Structure 1
Amino acid sequence: MCRAARVKPSEPALTLVTGVSGFVGSAVAHALAARGARVRGLVRAPSPRGNLADFPGELVEGDLRDGDAVARAMRGVRHLFHVAADYRLWAPDPEEIVRNNAAMTRVVMEAALAAGVERLVYTSSVATLRPRDDRPADENDAAAPDQAVGAYKRSKVIAERLVEEMVAARGLPAVIVQPSTPIGPRDVKPTPTGRIVVEAANGRMPAYLDSGLNLVHVDDVAAGHLLALDKGRIGERYILGGQDVMLGDMLGRIAALVGRRPPAFRIPRPPLFPLAWANEQLARVTGREPFLTLDSLRMAKHRMFFSSARAEAELGYRARPHGEALADSIGWFRGAGMIR
C-alpha cells in the first residue's frame, strides 16, 4: 500500500515512474533523482530486482493493469513517466503482448487523469513508425496497426493512438517520446538489441544481415524524457534517437572493443526463415524467447533509420556517438558476467 505524504512547500514535486525495474525506466528514474526530483517507482511484485538495489526513491508494488493499485501509486503525484511495456518480440500467444500494452496504457492514463497529474511523458517507440528506404523516418511517418510488423510493434501503435485520442478528447497532458534502439548500462534482461551485443561480444555471431538500426545511449534517452517533460508540446511526438548504423558496422565495432575478429559473412534473409521457424517451435517447448524470430527477419528487410531533428530543435536533445554507447554497454555486460 502506498501513502503519499503531504508535500511541504520546499519539497520538489513527486514524480511517478513506471517500469523502473527495466532498462529505460531505471535510467529515467536515476536521471530524475540526479536533478533533485522525488521519485516513486511502480513495479510488479515478480519484476527482476537487479535495477532496484540502488533505486533512488520510494518503491511501491502493483500491477499496471490493476486500476486500484495504479490509483494508489498516483496519489500526490505531480508528474508521471509511463515507461513500462511488455517488450517482447515473440510470445507463445502474440496477442498477449497486444493486450498487455493496451491495458497498461489505458489504466495508467485513466489514473493520471483522475489524479489530476499536471504533466506526463508517455514512452512509445519508433516501432510505431513506418521505416523508409529513401530517407530516415521521422514523426510524420506514423504507422497504422495493420502496417506494423509483429505483435509488439502493433501493440505500441495501438497504445500510442490511445494516448493521442485521450489528449485530443479529454485533455490528457501527455507528451509522447519515441526512443529508437537504446543500449548501455542496466540492460538486465537483456533487450533484443542487448542480446545482439552479448552474442557478438562472445563471438557467437559469425555472420550478419544487410540491415541497419539507429543506436542511442540509454542515458541520452533518459535525458530526452526529462527534456520532453520540461519543454515538449502536449500531444506531440519526439523521436529520441542517436546514430544510424549498418548492422555489419555495429558488429565490427563490438569486435574491436572486445578484441575479436569481426564477422566475415553477410547472409541473405530467405535462407534464415526455416531456422527462425524452428527456433520459435523450440521456444514453445523450452519457454525461452528465441534469438532469431520470423518477425525479426521481416523487420530486417528495412533499415531502421530515424531522424531526431524535431527533438533536437524543440527540446535541445543531443545524443553521444554510438561507439561510446556500445563501449558502455559492453562494459556493463562484462561486469554483470554476461560477456566472457
Structure 2
Amino acid sequence: MTTLVTGATGFVGSAVARALAVRGHDLRLLVRTTSDRRNLAGLDAEVVIGDLTDPDSLVRAASGCRYVLHVAADYRVWVPDPAAMLRANVDGAVAMVRAAAQAGAERIVHCSSVAALGQIGDGSVADEATPTNEADFVGVYKRSKYLAEKAVLELAGRDQLPVVVVNPAAPVGPRDIKPTPTGKMIRDAAAGRMPAYLDTGLNIVHVDDVAEGHVLALERGRLGERYVLGGENMLLKDVLALVADVVHRRPPSIRLPEAAVWPVALVMEKLATLTGIAPMMTRDHLKMARKKMFYSSAKATAELGYQARPARLAVQDAVAWFRANGMLAR
C-alpha cells in the first residue's frame, strides 16, 4: 500500500506523512534537491527526487502508488516572481493529479486552503458552499490556491478522477521550520515583537489536526467534495493575547488603523524589491485584513469525523517547538 506525499519536508506535509505512518502506510515522499530535510527525521519512507515544475518527475514519483496526497505548495504572502508561484501551485497541482491518475491511484487528496473559498468577511462564518468571486482573491498566493483548486476539480469532474479536496485554515504547531506566515506571527508575538494589531480575524488550527483531516478525507471523503479543516475562529487581537498568556507577556493593546500602516507597507515592499528580503507588511496583507477569515468545519465533522483541539494547545505546541529548536528564546 504505497502512498505518495508531496511537500513532506514542509510544515503540513510532514504532519500528514506522520499521520499516515501511524496507520501503517508505506510512504513515498517527493522531495526537491534543495529541500531542507529536517522534518523527515524519524520517518521510515522512500524518498524520491522531483519538482512540481517537472511533470515527468511527478509521473515517476506516482508510479505504483495506491494513494496520492498532494500537500506541496509555495506558501508566501509576498513573492518577487508571482509567475513562479502560479506555475508551482496551479500548474504543479494539475500535473500531480494527472500523474496520480496515470498511475491508477485509487484516491487522490488535494490540499487546498480556506484561502480558495468564498469569504463573508464581516465576522460571519463561511464554509465550502460560500459563493466565490475571483476578484476577491487578494494577492498571488490566494489567487494561486483558488485557481489550483478550480483546475483540479474541473479536471477531476471531466475525467472522473477519484479526487477529494481539503481546505485547511491557519495551521499552527511543531515543525514549522521556515516558518510559515502564520507561524512567524506566533513566534514574533511570543518574542514580544508585535506591540500592535489590525482589526481582523482568522481560524487557528493545530497542524496535527489538519494532518488527521487529510487522512480522514483519504479514508472517508466523498469524491469531488471539499472539506474545511479548521479550529477556532479568533480575532487577531485575541490570538495575540493568547500567545502573550502562554509566554507570560503583556498582550498588545494598540489597534492600528489601516491608513496609518499603508505608507509603511509601501516602503517595505520597495525595500523588499531592492533587497530580495520578504517584507514584514505588504499592501496585500492590509487588503486581506479587511475581511475576517472565519470558517466552519461542520461538514468535515459530520462526514469525516474530524475534530480539532483548542487553539491554546496549538499555540503551546508551536511555542515549545520554536524554543526547542532555537527559533525563540526561552
TM-score calculated relative to the size of structure 1: 0.94
In the other structure, the counterpart of 1:74 is 62
1:30 and 1:56 in contact (8 A); partners too: no
Task: For 1:144 and 1:304, locate their aligned partners in 2 and report how far apart those are by CA, in whole Å.
Answer: 15
1:21 counterpart = 2:19: no
2:167 corresponds to: 178
Q: For structure 2, which runs of at least 5 residues remain unmatched after alignment?
A: none
Counterpart residue number, 1:10: none
- Write the deviation string for residues 29-75 of structure 1: whole angstroms up to 9, x where unpaired: 00000111111100111012221232331111111221221111111
Structure 1 gaps, min length 5: 1-12
Check the 8 A contact 1:29/1:56 in 2, yes or no. no
The match for 1:145 is: 134
Counterpart amino acid of 2:59?
Answer: A
- How far does residue 146 in structure 1 lie from its aligned partner after superposition? 2.8
Supply the AA of the counterpart residue of 1:150: G
User: What residue in structure 2 maps to residue 223 of structure 1?
Assistant: 212
Determine the C-alpha separation between the residues in 2 that align with 1:180 and 1:201: 21
Find the residue that maps to 2:33 and give its secondary structure. coil
Q: Which moved more, 1:195-204 or 1:281-290?
A: 281-290
User: Contact between 1:113 and 1:172, CA under 8 Å: does it hold in 2?
Assistant: yes
Give the structure 1 partner of residue 157 of structure 2: 168
**Paired residue for 2:273?**
284
Pairing 1:254–2:243 present: yes
Equivalent residue, structure 1, for 2:71: 83
Match of 1:101 in 2: 89
Name 1:3's counterpart in structure 2.
Answer: none
| Partner deviation per Cα, 1:84-141 (whole Å, 9 max, x = no partner) | 0111111112232122211111210111111111111100000012221262110012
Aligned residues: 328
- Distance of 1:62 and 1:95 partners within structure 2: 20
In structure 2, C-alpha distance between the alignment counterparts of 1:57 and 1:101, rounded to whole Å: 24
Q: Distance in 1 between matches of 2:128 and 2:287?
A: 22
Deviations 1:304-331 (A, max 9, x none): 1000010011111000000011100100
CA RMSD, 1 decimal: 1.1
Separation in structure 1 between the aligned mates of residue 254 and residue 123 of structure 2, nearest angstrom: 26
For 2:220, the aligned partner's letter is K
SS at match of 1:51: helix
SS at match of 1:80: strand
1:317 aligns with 2:280: no
1:270 aligned partner: 259
Aligned residues: percent identity? 53
Q: Is the 8 A contact 2:108 2:163 kept in 1?
A: yes
Q: Which residue of 2 aligns with 1:155?
A: 144
**Residues 45 and 61 in structure 1, CA contact (< 8 A), matched pair in contact too:** yes
**Residues 123 and 292 of structure 2 are in contact (CA less than 8 Å); yes or no, is this contact kept in structure 1?**
no
Letter of the structure 1 residue corresponding to residue 264 of structure 2:
L
Question: Cα deviations across residues 130-171 of structure 1 (Å, max 9, x unaligned)?
Answer: 221262110012424332111111111111011111111101
Q: Within 1, Cα distance between the matches of 2:264 and 2:205?
A: 29
- Distance of 2:183 and 2:248 partners within structure 1: 19
Selected match of 2:29 from 14, 35, 41: 41
The partner residue of 1:338 within 301, 312, 327 is: 327
